[in-house]
Structure 1
Amino acid sequence: MSQTSISIRIDENLKKAMEQTCKELGMNMTTAFTIFAKKMSREHRIPFEVSVDPFYSASNLKSIDESIKQINQGKVVVKTMEELEDMANE
């Protein structure tokens, strides 16, 4: 089977972290990507769950919008750090 090269761009810190994980698993990044490519080709899907950051869920964004609305209407309570610490110690 003939070989070919691919080139990808990823964050430098992510690359270092992946290299370390691969080393701990006894493989290199080429082997890891080959495993991924074979599994994806065989199953015709990404072989792990892909999801969005839950921070951006509809319910969370609705809560953020409501908080912004309350702030804009002046419906806020202001406390100093000392007041908050006193409340926590009660």
Structure 2
Amino acid sequence: MTKVLQVRLDSETKAAADRLYADLGLDTSTAVRMFLQASLQTNGLPFAVKRAFNPETEAAMQEARDIAAGKIKAKGYKSVEKMFAELDAEMARE
């Protein structure tokens, strides 16, 4: 049994997609079915979705990569309690 899926698009996007898929020998409905099947096969979107990070996040991610690569020595703690005690003391100084 098949079901109907309705999607709202602006007319320019619909026309451009129709032309693109026609050039590929597909209709838009077939292309959408292919997208949905690929999503199910990959258990997610069948392409990478990326969002730019702000500079602070980028710097933190680079620092984490450098720590993992051994380029930066990271401080370790023998217990979570010691870590939180040091963090609390640091916060009190600020």
TM range (shorter): 0.5 to 0.7
Q: Tell me what 1:27 maps to.
A: 26
Q: Give 5+ residue unaligned stretches, structure 2.
A: 56-94
CA deviation vs aligned residue, 1:46-90 (integer Å, no higher than 9, x gap): 0011123x5xx524xxxxxxxxxxxxxxxxxxxxxxxxxxxxxxx
Using the alignment, how far apart are the partners of 1:14 and 1:49 within structure 2? Answer: 21
**SS of 2:2's equivalent?**
coil
**TM-score, normalised with respect to structure 1:** 0.56
Where has structure 1 moved over 6 Å in runs of 4 or more? none
Question: What is the distance in 2 between the residues matched to 1:7 and 1:28?
Answer: 15
In structure 1, the gaps of 5 or more residues are: 60-90
What count of residue pairs does the alignment treat as equivalent? 55
Q: Cα RMSD over matched residues? A: 1.3
What does 1:33-48 align with in structure 2 at a 5 Å threshold? 33-48=32-47
